[in-house]
């Protein structure tokens, strides 16, 4: 069975195809009964250490935005980085179990948390809003471990789905069930209005072209095992544009002013009481 070996690279040397390894900031542990008897879940986030945008980059982005006007162009675009995520689940219990890993995240404009989205508040039988990726049962043997991967294609798809759902107001079910990793554009729509009977979203503004697709700059994981387990993960990045900080996560404390500060809005077009 393949073992994951966390690597910390403090200096970037080599070409853009040389991967950078970013270990998770914490080990996630869950699957233990809480005071109410419910099994605990674990959540973790990892912000990609992106260098502060330079004046030259800002000018290039403004020039691109002018050619695409009136489309807003993000600093970090979907084809700037190739990202994947390796994970290992360890079962600390003496009996076999199952676990799910749900992947969500944020780009520089919006964050996506399906647990606060209820697009069918009047239908108690409606399915829960889906995560961007994962949420598939994983069998873990007693006192054993299982390793796996969210691939570059899956992270690219998740990034595009995130942009479609938030800036485009595309229904999450539709966005996630449609393969869009090679999409050339998407059409923003009016926000969902579940309280309006027979409501049909309509297009708003011009289509957003791929040159303006936003990349996921923060990865969020939800770990949901049914026995006592831990989850460890590493993020691997191929920096095609040279915008990752060479100190990676250590830049947070050593060079904090050199990291781009993103303040994404929480996407919730229909504020409701959390469904779960």
- State the Cα–Cα distance between residues 53 and 71, nearest whole angstrom: 19
Closest to 218 in 3D by CA, of 78, 107, 120, 134: 107
Give per-residue pLDDT as tens, 3-48: 444 433 334 445 657 899 999 988 999 999 998 989 999 999 999 9
Residue 276 CA neighbour count, 13 Å, CB half: 13
Q: Determine contact, residues 152/215, Cβ cutoff 8 Å.
A: no
Structure tokens at 93: 């219990």
pTM of the predicted model as reported, rounded to 2 decimal places? 0.89
- State the Cα–Cα distance between residues 104 and 150, nearest whole angstrom: 12
Is pLDDT above 80 for 83? yes
Q: Determine contact, residues 108/75, Cβ cutoff 8 Å.
A: yes
Structure tokens at 152: 């570059």
Give per-residue pLDDT as tens, 55-71: 999 999 999 999 998 89
What's the pLDDT band for 272 if we cut at 50, 70, 90?
Answer: low
């Amino acid at each position: 069975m393949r073992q994951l070996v966390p690597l910390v690279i403090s200096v970037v040397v080599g070409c853009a195809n040389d991967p950078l390894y970013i270990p998770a900031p914490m080990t996630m542990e869950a699957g233990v009964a809480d005071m109410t008897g419910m099994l605990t879940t674990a959540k973790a986030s990892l912000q990609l250490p992106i260098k502060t945008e330079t004046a030259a980059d800002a000018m290039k982005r403004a020039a691109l935005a002018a050619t695409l006007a009136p489309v807003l162009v993000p600093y970090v675009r979907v084809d700037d980085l190739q990202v994947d995520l390796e994970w290992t689940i360890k079962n600390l219990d003496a009996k076999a179990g199952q676990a799910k890993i749900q992947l969500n995240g944020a780009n520089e404009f919006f964050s996506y948390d399906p647990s606060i989205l209820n697009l069918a508040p009047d239908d108690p039988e409606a399915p829960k809003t889906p995560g961007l990726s994962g949420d598939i049962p994983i069998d873990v043997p007693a006192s054993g471990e299982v390793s796996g991967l969210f691939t570059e294609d899956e992270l690219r798809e998740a990034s595009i789905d995130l942009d479609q759902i938030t800036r485009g107001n595309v229904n999450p079910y539709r966005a996630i069930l449609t393969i869009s990793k090679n999409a050339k554009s998407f059409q923003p729509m009016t926000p969902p209005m579940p309280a309006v009977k027979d409501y049909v979203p309509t297009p708003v503004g011009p289509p957003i072209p791929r040159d303006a697709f936003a990349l996921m700059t923060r990865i969020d994981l939800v770990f949901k095992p049914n026995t006592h387990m831990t989850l460890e993960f590493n993020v691997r990045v191929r920096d095609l544009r040279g915008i990752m900080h060479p100190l990676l996560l250590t830049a947070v404390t050593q060079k904090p002013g050199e990291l781009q500060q993103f303040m994404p809005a929480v996407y919730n077009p229909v504020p409701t009481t959390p469904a779960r």
